[in-house]
């Protein structure tokens, strides 16, 4: 049956090239394997040419697939399931690319694209190692291509195609509007009724999500290079791959680390859990491969300098790539759906995802075990005053840290595999922090002292002479921070607080010692200082994390006594937390918030990004500063109810004021509440739900109220003071104006108390007894609840990331220069 308006060619083209990339990657794998195993030079070159041709075909195919899917999404061809479920017509142009990585298929394509880019660099640069390394990479491409194949083999579906039509998946079967009444099938003109897609997840509509996933997936992709070198080395039983792999490992650590921290920046600016890291399972799954990769990078340096630690280097590079594959299984299998805000939904590919892990894990560890005894090792133990000994200890600590993190993250997997019901900890963040704080202490100290040690052995006097200056400086700085920095995080007991102070010293020590080493050890040779610069950055990251987290302060304590929040503060997904930590602001009413007077001035709907922005005005009570922030909310899509909040922040060089909306209420709904009549006279008290009011006096035609009545009217006004439960006082002046037989009511309101009072009538003129009407209604004003944090010194963290990545890149360039000089000496 022909369906009106369908655009089938882009999908057919894309699917053809998916199949072609699948076949081409298999041919490239086989051809490179033949070239790798063949001793005859002529045959080796012949197989290599075929392999390169196949890899070129594969690269072109991946590019065409990428362009085809972008064309479908950007042209809003909602007959395709991928475009229908991940985009809509109102989506801004800059977020169209984000539609790629919202779905699993698109993220696999991104991963495959980076493999193609890396592959051509390896073909250009890896020389004798090309065949073995590209054999492994091409096989990974084969596996990735199978993930988006979307065809059936012997009744089993392999992969999920991004080019499948929505109607073939039964998307419209349950909607009567799309049903053809004549035959019960889908109407031929169904597309004329399909007005829009379901849209991009609101959490992904952030500029960080345009740049964070490509960088993160480049980091994932690069981990295969050290892995491929290691596998090729085991197969050839040659170990000089260590030198060309070293700059690749440094580059991978730089990019993967940058990608992880870009995710933290996205969480900080887009998620409303009040921070940049929450030990979310998906965050953990990307962090752990970085930890093991950095461990492998350091043992690689040890082997290059001393001949020690070759076996650990093999292990760390192998496990790093396998952990990337395992993180792929965790985040895409649906297992983490109840524990992570980042995880993909289950596409029914769990078996294939598991095979993707096992097809690399079993041969890699099998080969490693088989070749283990043949891997060269030095029997003699290292000196405890040698650099290599403590670098290895640091690498081991990083590895053990990763094991602890991934074990805790894998609890849902254990529960599913073994039928257990291990409950998550009541405080997940502290469950990780109570262990990782000691990792920070150990790594900080080792990062500080290790570079002052020499390889093989170090004279004690030499070490003491070099290390005492940075040690003294670090002690002074860390003590100043501890005593004058108001580090008083005692929520988890004094033991944890002491650990924080120790970690601050270790982190400061890492920064000072490595900065000093550039001059004390390297004599100011900046080109050779990549490792020191990276260590300075890492120390700054630790300092930034410790200070911003331990000094994180809630500013938004509720001083109004009013809150619309009723949710359980411990409930999952409750961004508000404790209602007492959320201040209620009434539109146009300045409200006391500690150091600031805060006013919700206005809000506006931006039709371009469909976000509602709230203007919040902060004024310091001492007059020292004033600023405005613009947090926003966006209506949830994809069948979810409510709104998603996006924070806003005021950035200073030494702190951030972090603000997000936890609830909002506008007075567009009908007011169904009614007035309650109460009798009173001067001096009497009348209660309402949030306090009481006192009638002070009654005035006839008062001069100060002239603006409210006409010159030819007689007016009577009540002077009332409202006393709220929180101790605040508000003036009220309800009245009436009389002209002839026409009576006009002049009610008055206290917006901050949702209170309206009117003057009804005089009950007893002689006794001075009057009747007023009291109405309490949430519909009389707009209000919001706001959560505000102060993050001191958080910019040290972001600056540390930049410095660390810069140091890694400097190391890459340094290693490339060293390899070139070595090649020239050999030639």
**Would you place residue 173 in the very low, low, confident or very high pLDDT band (cuts 50, 70, 90)?**
confident
Measured CA to CA, the distance from residue 507 to residue 477 in angstroms comes to 11
- Asked if the model's pLDDT at residue 342 lies above 70, the reply is no
Measured CA to CA, the distance from residue 331 to residue 103 in angstroms comes to 12
Which range has the worst mean pLDDT, 139-143, 210-214, 489-493?
489-493
Mean pLDDT computed over 655-667 = 87
**pLDDT at site 492:** 84
Q: Averaging pLDDT over each range in 244-253, 455-464, 589-598, which range is the top one?
A: 244-253
**pLDDT at site 574:** 59
**Would you place residue 83 in the very low, low, confident or very high pLDDT band (cuts 50, 70, 90)?**
very high
Residue 450 DSSP code: G
**pLDDT at site 490:** 77
**pLDDT at site 202:** 85
Measured CA to CA, the distance from residue 50 to residue 62 in angstroms comes to 18
- In three-state secondary structure terms, 614 is strand
Tokens 């649906």: give the residue.
334
Tokens 């195993």: give the residue.
37
**pLDDT at site 346:** 54
**Would you place residue 744 in the very low, low, confident or very high pLDDT band (cuts 50, 70, 90)?**
confident
**pLDDT at site 338:** 56
Sheet holding 748-750, edge to edge: 676-680, 769-776, 755-764, 748-750
Mean pLDDT computed over 760-783 = 85
Residue 751 DSSP code: G
Residue-wise over 588-621: b if at least 16 C-beta within 10 A, else e? ebbbebbebebbbeebeeeeebbbbbbebbbbee
- Asked if the model's pLDDT at residue 810 lies above 90, the reply is yes
Q: Averaging pLDDT over each range in 50-64, 170-184, 483-497, 767-781, which range is the top one?
A: 50-64
**Would you place residue 341 in the very low, low, confident or very high pLDDT band (cuts 50, 70, 90)?**
low
**Would you place residue 780 in the very low, low, confident or very high pLDDT band (cuts 50, 70, 90)?**
low
- Asked if the model's pLDDT at residue 309 lies above 90, the reply is yes
Beta bridge partners, 64, equal none
Counts of helices then strands in the chain (DSSP H, E): 20, 23
**pLDDT at site 673:** 78
Mean pLDDT computed over 148-155 = 85
φ and ψ at residue 535, rounded to 5 degrees: -65, -40
Q: What's the mean pLDDT when you consider all of the chain? A: 90
**Would you place residue 824 in the very low, low, confident or very high pLDDT band (cuts 50, 70, 90)?**
low
Mean pLDDT computed over 750-778 = 87
- Asked if the model's pLDDT at residue 496 lies above 70, the reply is yes
φ and ψ at residue 655, rounded to 5 degrees: -165, 170
Measured CA to CA, the distance from residue 553 to residue 682 in angstroms comes to 46
**pLDDT at site 142:** 97
- Asked if the model's pLDDT at residue 586 lies above 80, the reply is yes
Other Cβ atoms less than 10 A from the Cβ of 465: the count is: 12
**Would you place residue 322 in the very low, low, confident or very high pLDDT band (cuts 50, 70, 90)?**
very high
- CA count, 13 A, side-chain hemisphere, 745: 12
Beta bridge partners, 656, equal 651, 791
- In three-state secondary structure terms, 671 is coil
**Would you place residue 541 in the very low, low, confident or very high pLDDT band (cuts 50, 70, 90)?**
very high
- Asked if the model's pLDDT at residue 169 lies above 90, the reply is no
Mean pLDDT computed over 631-640 = 82
Measured CA to CA, the distance from residue 688 to residue 697 in angstroms comes to 19
**Would you place residue 345 in the very low, low, confident or very high pLDDT band (cuts 50, 70, 90)?**
low
**Would you place residue 189 in the very low, low, confident or very high pLDDT band (cuts 50, 70, 90)?**
confident
Helices 281-306, 387-409: inter-axial angle, 10-degree rounding:
160
Mean pLDDT computed over 594-602 = 92
**pLDDT at site 579:** 87
Tokens 């499948």: give the residue.
164
**pLDDT at site 180:** 79
Measured CA to CA, the distance from residue 414 to residue 7 in angstroms comes to 45
Tokens 């894990």: give the residue.
361
Q: Single out the residue of 320, 328, 325 nearest to residue 298, CA to CA.
A: 320
Joined tokens for residue 99: 């539609």
User: Where would I find the H helices in 309-349?
Assistant: 310-332
Q: What percent of the chain has pLDDT over 70?
A: 95
Tokens 């206005």: give the residue.
602
Residue 452 DSSP code: G
Q: Averaging pLDDT over each range in 45-54, 159-168, 181-190, which range is the top one?
A: 45-54
Joined tokens for residue 167: 């109607």
**Would you place residue 178 in the very low, low, confident or very high pLDDT band (cuts 50, 70, 90)?**
confident
CA distances 688 to 231, 271, 691, Å, are 77, 38, 5
**pLDDT at site 639:** 67
Joined tokens for residue 15: 């699917």
CA distances 268 to 98, 437, 627, 657, Å, are 18, 21, 20, 12
- Asked if the model's pLDDT at residue 192 lies above 90, the reply is no
- Asked if the model's pLDDT at residue 573 lies above 80, the reply is no
- Asked if the model's pLDDT at residue 571 lies above 60, the reply is no
Measured CA to CA, the distance from residue 588 to residue 593 in angstroms comes to 15
Phi-psi category of residue 704: left, alpha or beta, with phi > 0 → left and psi -120 to 50 → alpha: alpha
Which range has the worst mean pLDDT, 175-179, 405-409, 522-526, 671-675?
671-675
For residues 781 and 584, the answer to whether their CB atoms sit within 8 Å is no
Q: What is the pLDDT of residues 712-738, one digit of tens each?
A: 889 999 999 999 887 888 899 999 998
**Would you place residue 343 in the very low, low, confident or very high pLDDT band (cuts 50, 70, 90)?**
low
For residues 236 and 132, the answer to whether their CB atoms sit within 8 Å is yes
- Asked if the model's pLDDT at residue 646 lies above 90, the reply is no
Mean pLDDT computed over 445-473 = 94
- In three-state secondary structure terms, 525 is coil
Joined tokens for residue 2: 């022909």
Measured CA to CA, the distance from residue 330 to residue 354 in angstroms comes to 10
Which range has the worst mean pLDDT, 434-443, 540-549, 637-646, 807-816?
637-646
**336 Cβ neighbours under 8 A, 6+ residues apart:** 281, 282, 330, 343, 412
**pLDDT at site 669:** 58
- CA count, 13 A, side-chain hemisphere, 461: 0
**pLDDT at site 778:** 65
Beta bridge partners, 716, equal 700, 736
Residue 166 DSSP code: G
- Asked if the model's pLDDT at residue 94 lies above 60, the reply is yes
Measured CA to CA, the distance from residue 782 to residue 751 in angstroms comes to 9
Pairing of β 583-586 and β 553-554:
unpaired
Residue 712 DSSP code: T
**Would you place residue 193 in the very low, low, confident or very high pLDDT band (cuts 50, 70, 90)?**
confident
For residues 807 and 537, the answer to whether their CB atoms sit within 8 Å is yes
Measured CA to CA, the distance from residue 745 to residue 740 in angstroms comes to 14
Q: What percent of the chain has pLDDT over 90?
A: 61
**What sign for the dihedral angle of Cα 781, 785, 790, 794?**
negative
**pLDDT at site 668:** 60
Measured CA to CA, the distance from residue 591 to residue 582 in angstroms comes to 13
Measured CA to CA, the distance from residue 228 to residue 137 in angstroms comes to 7
């Amino acid at each position: 049956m022909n369906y009106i308006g369908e655009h089938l060619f882009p999908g057919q083209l894309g699917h053809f090239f998916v199949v072609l990339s699948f076949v081409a990657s298999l041919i490239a794998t086989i051809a490179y394997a033949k070239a790798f195993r063949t001793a005859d030079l002529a045959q080796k070159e012949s197989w290599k040419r075929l392999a390169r041709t196949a890899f070129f075909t594969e690269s072109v195919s991946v590019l065409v697939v990428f362009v085809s899917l972008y064309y479908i999404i950007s042209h809003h061809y909602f007959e395709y399931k991928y475009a229908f479920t991940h985009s809509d017509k109102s989506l801004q142009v800059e977020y169209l690319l984000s539609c790629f990585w919202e779905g699993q298929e698109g993220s696999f394509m991104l991963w495959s694209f980076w493999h193609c880019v890396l592959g051509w660099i390896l073909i250009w640069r890896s020389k004798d190692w090309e065949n073995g390394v590209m054999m492994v990479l091409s096989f990974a491409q084969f596996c990735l291509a199978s993930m988006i194949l979307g065809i059936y083999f012997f009744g089993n579906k392999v992969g999920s195609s991004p080019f499948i039509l929505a109607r073939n998946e039964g998307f419209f079967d349950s909607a009567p509007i799309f049903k053809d009444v004549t035959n019960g099938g889908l109407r031929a003109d169904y597309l004329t009724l399909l007005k829009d897609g379901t849209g991009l997840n609101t959490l992904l509509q952030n500029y960080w999500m345009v740049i964070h996933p490509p960088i993160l997936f480049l980091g994932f992709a690069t981990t295969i290079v050290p892995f491929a070198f290691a596998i090729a080395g085991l197969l050839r039983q040659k170990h000089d791959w260590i030198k060309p792999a070293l700059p690749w490992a440094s580059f991978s650590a730089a990019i993967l680390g940058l990608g992880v921290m870009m995710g933290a920046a996205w969480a900080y600016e887009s998620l409303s859990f009040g921070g940049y890291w929450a030990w979310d399972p998906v965050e953990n799954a990307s962090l752990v491969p970085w930890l093991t990769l950095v461990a492998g990078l350091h043992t690689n340096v040890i082997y290059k300098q001393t001949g020690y630690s070759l076996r650990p280097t093999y292990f760390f590079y192998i496990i790093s790539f396998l952990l990337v594959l395992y993180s792929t299984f965790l985040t895409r299998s649906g297992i983490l759906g109840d524990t992570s805000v980042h995880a993909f939904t289950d596409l029914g590919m769990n078996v294939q995802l598991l095979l993707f892990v096992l097809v690399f894990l079993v041969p890699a560890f099998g080969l490693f075990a088989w070749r283990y005894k043949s891997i060269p090792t030095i029997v003699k133990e290292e000196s405890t005053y040698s650099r290599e000994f403590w670098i290895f200890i640091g690498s081991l600590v990083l590895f053990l840290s990763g094991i602890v993190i991934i074990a805790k993250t894998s609890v849902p997997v254990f529960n599913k595999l073994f039928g257990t019901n291990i409950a998550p900890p009541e405080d997940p963040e502290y469950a990780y922090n109570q262990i990782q704080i000691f990792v920070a202490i150990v790594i900080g100290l080792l990062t500080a002292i290790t570079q002052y040690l020499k390889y093989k052995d170090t004279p004690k006097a030499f070490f003491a002479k070099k290390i005492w200056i940075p040690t003294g400086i670090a002690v002074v700085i860390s003590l100043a921070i501890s005593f004058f920095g108001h580090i008083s995080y005692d929520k988890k007991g004094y033991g944890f607080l002491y650990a924080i102070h120790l970690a601050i010293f270790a982190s400061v020590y890492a920064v000072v010692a490595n900065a000093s080493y550039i001059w004390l050890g390297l004599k100011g040779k900046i080109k050779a200082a990549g490792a020191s610069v990276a260590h300075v950055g890492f120390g700054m990251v630790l300092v930034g994390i410790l200070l911003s987290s331990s000094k994180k302060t809630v500013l938004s304590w509720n001083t109004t006594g009013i809150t619309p929040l009723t949710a359980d503060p411990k409930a999952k997904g409750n961004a508000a937390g404790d209602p007492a930590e959320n201040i209620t602001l009434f539109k146009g009413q300045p409200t006391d918030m500690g150091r600031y007077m805060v006013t919700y001035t206005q809000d506006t709907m931006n039709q371009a990004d469909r976000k509602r922005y709230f203007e919040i005005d902060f004024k310091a009570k001492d007059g020292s500063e004033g600023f405005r922030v613009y947090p926003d909310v966006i209506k949830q899509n994809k069948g979810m109810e409510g709104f998603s909040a996006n924070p806003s922040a005021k950035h200073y060089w030494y702190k951030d004021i972090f603000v997000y909306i936890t609830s909002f209420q506008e007075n567009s709904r009908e007011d169904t509440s009614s007035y309650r009549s109460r009798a009173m006279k001067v001096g009497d008290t009348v209660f309402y739900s949030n306090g009481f009011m006192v009638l002070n006096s009654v005035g006839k035609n008062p001069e100060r109220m002239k603006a409210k009545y006409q010159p030819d009217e007689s007016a009577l006004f009540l002077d009332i003071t409202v006393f709220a439960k929180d101790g605040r006082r508000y003036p009220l002046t309800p009245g009436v104006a009389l002209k002839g037989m026409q009576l006009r009511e002049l009610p008055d309101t206290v917006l901050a108390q949702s209170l309206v009072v009117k003057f009804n009538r005089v009950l007893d003129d002689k006794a001075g007894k009057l009747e007023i009407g009291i109405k309490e209604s949430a519909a009389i004003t707009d209000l919001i609840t706001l959560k505000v944090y102060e993050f001191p010194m958080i910019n040290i963290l972001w600056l540390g990331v930049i410095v660390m990545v810069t140091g890694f890149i400097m190391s890459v360039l340094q290693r490339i220069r060293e390899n070139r000089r070595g090649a020239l000496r050999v030639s």
